Amino acid sequence: MPLDEIAGLVIPECKTIFDEIKLMEAGLKSSEDVGERLMAFQPGSFSMLLLKDITDGFVKLKFRNGLTLEIIFDKKLFPTLGIWWNNGGYPEGGAVRTECAFEPIPGTSSDLSKSFNDGVYLSVEPGKQMVWEISWIVSKFGEGVL
């Protein structure tokens, strides 16, 4: 999603905020701190954060055009929320992009081997099924989530 269209962000509280770039705790105390830091990112900067052991399974965004987006997921299945925030500081394929993404993660990391080693991951027995869903609710600002 383009960063310049985002006017507000609400994310769940968590036990640990991990900086995936520096491979250490991010030094942030709350989800509000995370939101404020991300919304203030200057051009040429980027961040990849993991909110581990989240209290609720959601992300809420307000866009400048008056729309809101709520992403809802089961925190028991997805205990970590990955936030990828790129304000032109992480070129991919030589392209400078301003974008963000939110990734409900079924473990402690987006690296499956790390989640496996931590003992927090999803698995399905051979021949069995697992059903899960992630809901995206779009509404006009004032009708919904922020």
Gap between the Cα atoms of 97 and 6, Å rounded? 15
Residue 96: the pLDDT is 85
pLDDT tier at 110, thresholds 50, 70, 90 = confident
Averaged pLDDT for residues 117-146? 85
pLDDT for the residue numbered 142:
62
- Integer CA distances (angstroms), 106 to 17, 66, 71, 113, 135, in order: 16, 31, 15, 12, 16
pLDDT at 28: 92
User: Is residue 66 predicted with pLDDT exceeding 60?
Assistant: yes
Beta bridge partners of 71: 59, 136
Q: Which pLDDT does position 146 carry in this prediction? A: 53
Domain ranges of the chain: 3-140
pLDDT in tens, 2-61: 898 999 999 999 999 999 988 899 999 999 999 999 999 999 999 999 999 999 999 999
For the chain, the average pLDDT equals: 91
pLDDT category at 141 given cuts 50, 70, 90 is low
Highest mean pLDDT among 18-22, 74-78, 138-142: 74-78
More confident residue, 61 or 95: 61
Bridge partners (DSSP) of residue 86 are 46, 99
State residue 26's pLDDT score.
93
